[in-house]
Structure 1
Amino acid sequence: MPELSILIVTWNSQATIRDCLDSINKNCQNLSLEVLVWDNASADETAKIIKTEFPQVKLSQSQQNLGFAKGNNCLVDEANSEFILFLNPDTLIMNDSIERMLEYIKDSKTVVALGPKLLYPDNSFQLSYAKFPNLWTEFFTKIYQRSAHQKRSLILKFIAKNSSKTKEVDWISGACLLTRRKVLQELGGFDENFFLYFEDADLCCRLKSKGQIVYYPEANVMHLVGISTKSQNLKTGYHYRKSQLYYYRLHNGRFSNLILKLYLSVKFGLAVIFSNREKKEWYKKIIGLIWSK
């Protein structure tokens, strides 16, 4: 039985999956592991690349895009290891990072989830943990996203400086998340009502009841950030808001939920007025989500 199962959900990931799997082969040689990929009906060469170049990978192909959460749950059912690593196809494992993460979680019975320091392709710091989503973090996220485009931003430097040590956090990014299979099964895995976004925060919210969630910067993973979704910006924006609204209904109070709805109504109401035709249609769909039950 392997000691680690690496689970990857792909969707039109031909631009990144080869390098991702190569990085696993190169930097996880000392580990007994299995790699399982769930392909969400990719229209490109993703499945072909895996079949022809990585025959040792266990590939499952869906006839439709089931989303990140359900795809991962299907892989968890197929996994054979005590420890599960959820990994995005647009990531690169660096050095012995996964080996370090596995050693850390094995040495601590109280840790139920562990995440590494994520890096942008230029090796600059990428925020991969946070407080649980709420109105304050919504505001902070906007500031961080703008700062991330300015590599010399004082805000970004401050965050990076305060992210240099291992610490307990609320939630860590699902781009690279190590956890225990037994705990996952007890919790029922990811909530499949999340198609894309917020499923990792929701999972960590439930994992928190079982133990500690730890940010571990001694391990580094490069994250190219949503390569397969860049051409789908309007559609992914829709899924982001849909998942956000669902998360708030689950975990935040009525007041926060109401404020979020009012904020989004104003934001996208104005966007409908001042945007082009294509964007207007998507923004109208988001407005329709806001007040639906």
Structure 2
Amino acid sequence: MSEPTVLTILLNFRTPDLTLKSAEAALAAMEGMAGEIVIVDNDSGDGSFARLTAEAAGRGWTRNDRLRVVASDRNGGFGAGMNFGMRQGLSDGRTPDFYYLLNSDAFPEAGTIRILRDFLAATPSAGMAGSYVHGTDGTPHHTAFRFPSVAGEFEGAVRTGLFTRLLRNAVVALPIPEGATRVDWTAGASLMLRSEMIRQIGGFDETFFLYYEETDLCLRASRAGWATWYVPESRIAHLGSASTGMKAWRRTPGYWFDSRRYYFTKNHGRAYAAAATLARVSGQMLWGLRRRLQNKPQADPDHFLRDLIVHAFGAPPPRAATVSPVSATLVEDSK
């Protein structure tokens, strides 16, 4: 039996230096494995594609089909860029057995990719597997989650121990598992997908520009009978939000609110989406009162509550069809 193949996909948007560093780590992690790496420049418009192409060739990475650099003609966000990468397939035209998605600001350890591949190969019911993620300073990142819910929205906004204890089964961020654990969803910074699952359910829903796209994919997979696993033996270092600038947000961008609203509406209906927003608004208001009474520091970007309400009940974002990244054909009209 031949060794399962992996196509590692690195998405670049105006971070060529980080992307090259990530590609170097991915090449080392792919050493001796069947498969290739493809770097997708997500229409950066800043010379990234030319820089990455020249550097990859100059470093000898493109020899023997080890790595390719390709350019998307539009910046449709994370999901669209990863769909484009999956459509590239292997250089000989074959579809790989697995796709490994890697952020441009994430650096896999030597065994990271192999561990995820071997776990999926040994677990037929698993459609996806994600890694233990830590900062470059070693700080653990929470990347194992429950699906968002009305109760989870309230708990996350109110930030009060009493409610967290009462709603402990709805808290979205799980305690970091010490061993391989089935979870609702995990972050896309280091995520391996079974191509059979992608052929069945389609790729990322490209309505999501950024945020909630991997949550939606994991939910669709779960509803189709595929499990998502968190595998902490697989490890990456992650800077976090290098392309989006999330850590430095003074104000949350509209696409975050649009993605949140679309996720709830698409997957649970308008009434549930409204209830989730009301729960979050209620939690935010209680937290705001507690902040004033106890002189606690600001925990959200400026105007977060107002922006949440405006985006929750304003015009919905444009909707896109879910497309199979394997064949680029329509899989479902889920909108």
What TM-score do the two structures reach when normalised by structure 1?
0.81
Trace 1:88-107 onto structure 2 (pairs within 5 A): 88-107=103-122
Summarize the Cα distance change of 1:265–1:214 in structure 2 as closer, same or farther, 3 Å threshold.
Answer: closer
Which 10-residue stretch deviates more, 187-196 or 133-142? Answer: 133-142
Summarize the Cα distance change of 1:248–1:46 in structure 2 as closer, same or farther, 3 Å threshold.
Answer: same
Rounded to whole Å, the distance in 1 between the matches of 2:205 and 2:10 is: 17
Q: CA deviation at 1:175?
A: 1.1
Q: Which among 10, 15, 28 is matched to residue 30 of structure 2? A: 28
Q: CA deviation at 1:132?
A: 0.7
Which residue of the partner structure matches residue 98 of structure 2? 83
Q: CA deviation at 1:213?
A: 1.1
Which residue of the partner structure matches residue 290 of structure 1? 312
Which residue of the partner structure matches residue 18 of structure 1? 20
Deviations 1:68-116 (A, max 9, x none): 1111112211113111111111100112111111111111211111011
Kept in 1, the 8 Å contact 2:72–2:84? The answer is no
Q: CA deviation at 1:254?
A: 4.5
Which 10-residue stretch deviates more, 43-52 or 212-221? Answer: 43-52
Which residue of the partner structure matches residue 186 of structure 2? 172
Which residue of the partner structure matches residue 73 of structure 1? 83
Which residue of the partner structure matches residue 151 of structure 1? none
Kept in 2, the 8 Å contact 1:5–1:85? The answer is yes
Kept in 2, the 8 Å contact 1:117–1:216? The answer is yes
Q: CA deviation at 1:27?
A: 2.4
Which residue of the partner structure matches residue 132 of structure 2? 117
Rounded to whole Å, the distance in 1 between the matches of 2:26 and 2:44 is: 22
Rounded to whole Å, the distance in 2 between the matches of 1:20 and 1:140 is: 35
Q: CA deviation at 1:264?
A: 6.3
Q: Tell me whether 1:40 sits opposite 2:35 in the alignment.
A: no
Q: CA deviation at 1:258?
A: 1.5
How many residues align structurally?
271
Kept in 2, the 8 Å contact 1:264–1:290? The answer is no
Quick one: which amino acid aligns to residue 11 of structure 1?
F
Quick one: which amino acid aligns to residue 31 of structure 1?
M
Rounded to whole Å, the distance in 2 between the matches of 1:253 and 1:47 is: 40
Deviations 1:12-38 (A, max 9, x none): 112411110110122221212211122
Q: CA deviation at 1:165?
A: 1.4
Summarize the Cα distance change of 1:4–1:143 in structure 2 as closer, same or farther, 3 Å threshold.
Answer: farther
* 3-state SS of 1:159 partner: coil
Kept in 1, the 8 Å contact 2:10–2:23? The answer is no
Summarize the Cα distance change of 1:101–1:265 in structure 2 as closer, same or farther, 3 Å threshold.
Answer: closer
Q: Structure 1 stretches of 5 or more lacking a match?
A: 145-157, 272-278
Which residue of the partner structure matches residue 255 of structure 2? 239
Rounded to whole Å, the distance in 2 between the matches of 1:116 and 1:264 is: 29
| CA RMSD in angstroms, aligned pairs only | 3.1
Summarize the Cα distance change of 1:229–1:167 in structure 2 as closer, same or farther, 3 Å threshold.
Answer: same
Which residue of the partner structure matches residue 166 of structure 2? none
Which residue of the partner structure matches residue 60 of structure 1? 70
Rounded to whole Å, the distance in 2 between the matches of 1:141 and 1:181 is: 34
Kept in 2, the 8 Å contact 1:171–1:213? The answer is yes
Q: Which among 207, 221, 241 is matched to residue 207 of structure 1? A: 221
* 3-state SS of 1:227 partner: coil
Q: Which of the two has greater helix per residue?
A: 1
Rounded to whole Å, the distance in 2 between the matches of 1:236 and 1:40 is: 22
Q: CA deviation at 1:179?
A: 1.2
Deviations 1:233-291 (A, max 9, x none): 367632111100000002235543113333667869xx9xxxxxxx67x9877654321
Q: Which among 267, 272, 276 is matched to residue 260 of structure 1? A: 276
Kept in 2, the 8 Å contact 1:2–1:34? The answer is no
Deviations 1:154-198 (A, max 9, x none): xxxx934xx111111111111111111121022121111111110
Which residue of the partner structure matches residue 149 of structure 2? 134
Q: Which among 173, 188, 204 is matched to residue 190 of structure 1? A: 204
Quick one: which amino acid aligns to residue 59 of structure 1?
V
Kept in 2, the 8 Å contact 1:242–1:286? The answer is no
Computing the radius of gyration from Cα coordinates, the structure with the larger value is: 2
Q: Which among 3, 18, 30 is matched to residue 5 of structure 2? A: 3
Rounded to whole Å, the distance in 2 between the matches of 1:258 and 1:223 is: 34
